[in-house]
Structure 1
Amino acid sequence: MAYGFDTLQIHAGARPDPATGARQTPIYQTTAYVFRDADHAAALFNLQEVGYIYSRLTNPTVAVLQERVAALEGGAGAVCCSSGHAAQIMALFPLMGPGKNIVVSTRLYGGSVTQFSQTIRRFGWSATFVDFDDIDAVAAAIDDDTRAIFCESIANPGGYITDLDAVAEVSNNAGLPLIVDNTSATPYLCRPIEHGATLVVHSATKYLTGNGTVTGGVIVDSGTFDWSASGKFPSLSEPEPAYHGLKFHETFGPLAFTFHGIAVGLRDLGMTLNPQAAHYTLMGIETLSLRMERHVENAKIVSQWLEKYEHVAAVTYAGLPSSPYHDRVARICPKGAGGLFTITLKGGYEACVKFVDSLELFSHVANLGDTRSLVIHSASTTHRQLSPEQQEAAGAGPDVVRISIGIENADDLIADLEQALEKAHS
């Protein structure tokens, strides 16, 4: 039976515990698992049987979370790991090699820009940054060494909505996987696989958990990409020496990427999600649709008020009719444009800093997607490592403040914003 989103967010992947009957998924706080016998152990290590060996690889609590997020995204499988940044490296790990590159959007979270422009160079990888509103430029940036295209569905910090259909057409024409970071949208607002994405990554730290208690990441595999078609992805199409010549795509088909992520990625990179964090995330996901509805409702109210306020020069929320991305909402994010956007203050950098320091209900933190409303001045924090040009391209200039709208009373949020804006411009 095909269940709706609200049902899947509670039930997908979870069953009463067979040993105790516990209805909520238990926290399986164990390092290792007892094998039935030597043959059982050998079958698990040879990937001939699915089961539990060691919690760096698999854990029953984490497995429920993997199945649930995959179901919500409409994917074939998923791999959970220790953070959103870990998810991005894990997503690229089977695809890349020395001298290979990815084409990425300029509108990304600052830490992602740093990861792609600096850190991945240590692996011999590189990234070409392109404005993804210029589809021709995205296509032109692809060369023989390109192995993936990467963007965010709703870009952090500005809340810009990417035309996933157009980008997917480019990736399909090039025979390349499209990786979409769906953190800011969640599968409730956007399902990138339905728009052509090959892989979907999440920082589960944000909206999926929703309460600022854990760090975690997820990679969802669409199961639709032909990893053997071009010869560009030997990790998935060619014999794997560590598993006696097993070919992941030939053996596991639509689950090739998922099995590789666990059997090789988690085995060797060790970016493991702990079971308690998985448990918290599972509990958060149970109310995901309810929370996202309120995030969107509040963001509409607050952004409309801010757009008219005298000290605010601009608001980037795609849910506003004035946004150049407004026409993409119904097509890409039919249930709303999310709860994330930026505002530009007329007083520039100094006004932004004073504004942030004057807020009382909003929390000044380096996070987003919490039930609480959050704020940060990106240019002096999350995007501080970037050049002024990179900051502007990412939508995080010196006069810009990022706002993550929570699920509190909208009137209370507006009152706090108003008093802080007045102090910032007094």
Structure 2
Amino acid sequence: MSEQRSPGFDTLLIHAGARPDPATGARQIPIYQTTSYVFRDADHAAALFNLQEVGYIYSRLTNPTVAALQERMAALEGGQGAVCCSSGHAAQIMALFPLMGPGKNVVSSTRLYGGTVTQFSQTIKRFGWSAKFVDTDDLDAVKAAIDDDTRAIFCESIANPGGYVTDLDAMAKIADAAGIPLIVDNTTATPYLCRPIEHGATLVVHSMTKYLTGNGTVTGGCIVDSGKFDWSASDKFPSLSQPEPAYHGLKFHETFGPLAFTFHGIAIGLRDLGMTLNPQAAHYTLMGIETLSLRMQRHVENAEKVAKWLEDDPRVDFVTYAGLESSPYKAVADRICPKGASSLFTFGLKGGYEACVKLVDSVDIFSHVANLGDTRSLIIHSASTTHRQLTPEQQEAAGAAPNVVRLSIGIEDADDLIADLDQALAKATA
């Protein structure tokens, strides 16, 4: 008997988590628009609430449409389980929630989306947590930032806004040596271009709002658990290794093994934080994921063409796209993201802040919006918008200086995109 073949990535995009509806035979995953579920009897209800049986209780915790998406995301990232939630920012908090406590810190890349920098530098202080921001290109600085209270390292596989690629293998070695998890935001790369777990990541987070959904319709977040971290190896993670009072002393890692983080994310995280993904948003995201490979191929193809054109334009100071031969990140990009460096990058415009503002006001095809990963090409001046709350030093470190414009290249005709940028640059630098 021949060994059963494992499904390929493009097959998982369509079939992972998807089964014909047992009641109707519907081939597409239904939208289970319901708040609650009827128990078979009192014993069934008790078993569900005690985590002795897996099933549906209340849609803040579990929902069949959302569950299908969670199964698909885990399959695509090569993880043991996944928890979906209301947004990418919700996913970041939920990823940290079982790990952190008052006085604990996370070592974080300086090259993060501006909203994440604000969340980590300001908002998490209200929980008694803190973040240490370091340049993740400087591995010695990452090591030096870790102390006895550090509970995770956080970075992006491809950084927003600059498109810089992180050496995940090197980061994972540092995290392993310190006995802490590596959390990787894989939003910009998607699992089509990069699978961080294969490079040693413990947890992978996504803003599914972006490339995964791909159509700019709904927000959503996800945490994928590799299932490979030993939460009981030290006393650093009591939420997962020690008795949980809310479940009569149950120990998540002892009870659920490689699914400990996933079960905690649902039974504690979604139960108490309530960052629930609604089933209609899950449905839109499932539909978007079906075409992820096809879209990412065009995103990369277009980005390479537009970036090369911009690099040769005398009105442009620099282009940060890691797929360019001139990029200092080209070698690591080829290793971490062998199918391409996604379609998010920045470029510096001669004329500075005012020229950047005029440029975004002059485009026709590009949409001036605070999003990325859409089928449509998008443009934004980060220093005056997404990174506006940061200090000038933080903006510079994040790759969002005043003379920098961020592009998210869509799947339109690349020559049309170049023509649009050409006419807008003419107006901006006149």
Q: Normalized against structure 2, the TM-score is what?
A: 0.99
2:365 aligns with 361
Match of 1:276 among 280, 283, 290: 280
Match of 2:203 among 199, 203, 226: 199
1:96-127: per-residue Cα shift (whole Å, max 9, x none)?
Answer: 00000000000000000000000000000000
Q: Percent identity?
A: 84
1:32 aligns with 36
Aligned pair 1:107/2:92, yes or no? Answer: no
After TM superposition, the structure 1 = structure 2 runs for residues 331-370 of structure 1, keeping only pairs within 5 Å, are: 331-370=335-374
Kindly provide the amino acid, as one letter, of the partner of residue 109 in structure 1.
Answer: Y
Q: What is the alpha-carbon distance in structure 2 between the residues aligned to residue 425 and residue 305 of structure 1?
A: 17
After TM superposition, the structure 1 = structure 2 runs for residues 90-129 of structure 1, keeping only pairs within 5 Å, are: 90-129=94-133
2:257 aligns with 253
1:419 aligns with 423
Flag as ranges the 4+ runs of structure 1 deviating above 6 A.
none
Match of 1:231 among 229, 235, 239: 235
2:185 aligns with 181
The Cα shift of 1:276 comes to: 0.1
1:198-240: per-residue Cα shift (whole Å, max 9, x none)?
Answer: 0000000000000000000000000000000011000000000
2:294 aligns with 290
Q: What is the alpha-carbon distance in structure 1 between the residues aligned to residue 143 and residue 180 of structure 2?
A: 11
Q: What is the alpha-carbon distance in structure 1 between the residues aligned to residue 88 and residue 340 of structure 2?
A: 23
Q: What is the alpha-carbon distance in structure 2 between the residues aligned to residue 331 and residue 76 of structure 1?
A: 24
Match of 1:407 among 411, 419, 424: 411
The Cα shift of 1:310 comes to: 1.2
Aligned pair 1:148/2:143, yes or no? Answer: no
The Cα shift of 1:329 comes to: 1.6
Aligned pair 1:242/2:237, yes or no? Answer: no
Q: Structure 1 unaligned runs (5+)?
A: none
After TM superposition, the structure 1 = structure 2 runs for residues 120-139 of structure 1, keeping only pairs within 5 Å, are: 120-139=124-143
The Cα shift of 1:39 comes to: 0.4
The Cα shift of 1:351 comes to: 0.3
Match of 2:82, SS state, is strand
Kindly provide the amino acid, as one letter, of the partner of residue 400 in structure 2.
Answer: A
Match of 1:227, SS state, is coil
Match of 1:313, SS state, is strand
Match of 2:361, SS state, is helix
The Cα shift of 1:12 comes to: 0.2
Match of 2:382 among 369, 378, 381: 378
1:251-278: per-residue Cα shift (whole Å, max 9, x none)?
Answer: 0000000000000000000000000000
1:307-332: per-residue Cα shift (whole Å, max 9, x none)?
Answer: 00111000000000000000112210
Aligned pair 1:318/2:302, yes or no? Answer: no
The Cα shift of 1:340 comes to: 0.3
The Cα shift of 1:148 comes to: 0.3
2:75 aligns with 71
Aligned pair 1:209/2:213, yes or no? Answer: yes
Match of 1:226, SS state, is coil
Kindly provide the amino acid, as one letter, of the partner of residue 226 in structure 1.
Answer: D
The Cα shift of 1:189 comes to: 0.2
Match of 2:184, SS state, is strand
Aligned pair 1:264/2:268, yes or no? Answer: yes
* Count of residue correspondences: 426
Match of 1:107, SS state, is coil
Kindly provide the amino acid, as one letter, of the partner of residue 75 in structure 1.
Answer: G
Kindly provide the amino acid, as one letter, of the partner of residue 118 in structure 1.
Answer: Q
The Cα shift of 1:178 comes to: 0.2
